[in-house]
Amino acid sequence: MTTEAKVGAFVLGCFAVFAFTVVYLLTAQHSGSTVQYRTYLRYAGGLEPGASVLYGGIAVGKVTAVRPWAEDPTRIEILVNVRKGTPLNEKSVAKLGFVSIMNSAALSITTGTTEARRLVPGSVIPSREAASLDEIAGKLAGVADSANSLITQVQGEVSDISGNINQVLKNLDTMTGPPNQRKVQAILDNIEGLIAAERPKIDRLTDELVKVSAHADDTIQNVNGTVTDLRDPMRKDLLELQTTLHQAQGLLQSIQVIVRANDYKIDDTVENLREATDNLNQFTNSLKQRPWSLVRVKQAGDRQVPK
């Protein structure tokens, strides 16, 4: 072996050792900076261990296990290792996705919201089922059947519409034929003659309307002048009336003050009148019982019965 071959083999060996060391260190560092979560789906869609885990479209980890859940065999348990510091929260949703059309299946996780509480390592990521290819194919088949029925219906309706359009065109052709054209021309000629005959009357009516309008303007001007002439006397009368009302208000206030000042005298007068009334009532009753008291002090004795 030549010296160049030995040197080349030594260089290749050193490069292989260096590459192995770098890969080992990166793998060890990466494995030590991940945390585990789990989620559950009813349809995994070809998801396998080693598939990418996407957080908002960014690769943040790998799928480590895909297996039927022991507690509920109808659901698939998916274990994932996610890079530390990935802000998974309670509003994040895991679903089946794809990195691209040509790549295999991946687990896609939404970013959730800022206010939601962060998920602790080992907790369950909320999930949402994605439509399977069979379901999509079934829906496409249903859409295709509906489209065929719709196309058949539209074809029948288009035929009916075409027949109606042809009938309308025939009717238009009949309406716009030479006989109807002559009738329309005759009507237009009659209208033109009527306008020519009635034009002088229309002119006279227009002149009369102009005169009436001018007269109305004069009347309005006269009314405005009359209102202007009456405005000042009416304003003076209103001012005088207002002054009189103020004076009357002052007089009433003065009377009210006098009445309040002599209130106790009025009460005494009313009381005296009441007493006088009572005395008069007593005197009247006394006269009714003893009318002789007006001429005698004592009542006369009773007459003796003759013997």
Check residue 231 and give its pLDDT.
76
HSE-CB at 185 with a 13 A cutoff on CA atoms is 7
Q: What is the mean pLDDT of the chain?
A: 79
Domain boundaries, the chain: 33-130, 131-169, 198-275
∠ Cα 58 61 63 (to 5°): 120
The closest of 59, 65, 62 to 44, measured between CA atoms, is: 65
Check residue 175 and give its pLDDT.
67
Q: What is the band of 215 on the pLDDT scale with cuts at 50, 70, 90?
A: confident
| pLDDT per residue as tens digits for the range 153-197 | 777 777 778 777 877 777 777 767 777 777 778 888 888 888 888
Percent of the chain scoring above 70 in pLDDT: 80
Hey, what amino acid is at 48?
E
Hey, what amino acid is at 230?
L
**Residue 51 CB neighbours (<10 A):** 25
The closest of 114, 99, 115 to 58, measured between CA atoms, is: 99
Distance in angstroms (rounded) separating the CA atoms of residues 252 and 231? 31
Query: Which residues make Cβ contacts (< 8 Å) with residue 83, sequence separation at least 6?
Result: 33, 34, 60, 61
Q: What is the band of 29 on the pLDDT scale with cuts at 50, 70, 90?
A: very low
pLDDT at 297 over 70: no
pTM: 0.38
Check residue 79 and give its pLDDT.
95
Distance in angstroms (rounded) separating the CA atoms of residues 165 and 155? 15
**Residue 45 CB neighbours (<10 A):** 17
Q: What is the band of 300 on the pLDDT scale with cuts at 50, 70, 90?
A: low
Q: Which of 40-54, 124-138, 182-196, 289-303 has the lowest mean pLDDT?
A: 289-303
Check residue 27 and give its pLDDT.
55
